[in-house]
Amino acid sequence: MVYGYCCITTKKQSIERQIRNIKKSFPEADIIKETFSGASLNRPEWEKLFRRLENNDVIVFDSVSKMGIDAAEAFVLYKELVCKNIRLVFIRERYLDTESYKEALNGVISLSFSAEEQAANNLLKGVMSAVDHFIMNKIEQDICKAFAQSEKQVKELSRRTSEGIETARSNGKQIGTVKGAVHETKKSKTVKPLIIKFSKDFEGELSDRECMKLIGLSNNTYYKYKRELKRDHIERGA
């Protein structure tokens, strides 16, 4: 199985970019989506995925920074999944893929010895262990660098956004929604003129109940639109 794990830490963030990046390279990936708080450390979707992983399964991440709460947790998971023979792919850091790790490990030592050469076999095992330790240390450093780079990008984006907002404000532009402003939907734009036309509180002769029945509005929606219309009417000084 190929899984794509995508996560965000607040519902205000968009997870779609991660999904697009993973699907572009692995269209067959089964996407696992998660929203969790960095403070709680609780990732139920990840835990469910981890429990059902089988030998040779693949997990694809948009970035290694999506693998754990921090670099330390990500590295522990990396080692654990390597031992479970799970292939890991990081779209933005392909040098951290487990295939890259295995190629590096196999490329350093390409020697073979017969079973009778026990001393040579012991030496080979020792060398392989040392190489594995060296490569894992390198991976740990790279994961830490990737997390630091991700954090730097987030801070830089936040800085640019803040500067943009301040620039807009200094130029007299309104930032965000004005308190008390009414957000007009396609439905409200269609229905409000009908309320004005038929309601006896505006230009018509029908009661509220008759208006609701004629226009086809629920009680709550009808009175919400009516309150907004009256407020607009007062603000215009009509």
Distance CA 55, CA 57 (A): 6
Q: What angle do CA 160, 161, 164 make, to 5 degrees?
A: 85
Three-state SS at 114: coil
Tokens 């734009």 belong to which residue? 189
Average pLDDT per run of 10 along the chain, which is 238 residues long? 90 86 95 76 86 93 85 85 89 86 60 52 53 68 74 61 67 57 75 88 87 86 88 64
Cα separations in angstroms, 83 against 100, 137, 200: 15, 16, 75
Q: In angstroms, how far is CA 181 from the centroid of its own chain?
A: 30
| Contact status, residue 65 vs residue 147, Cβ threshold 8 Å | yes
H/E element holding 4?
strand 2-8
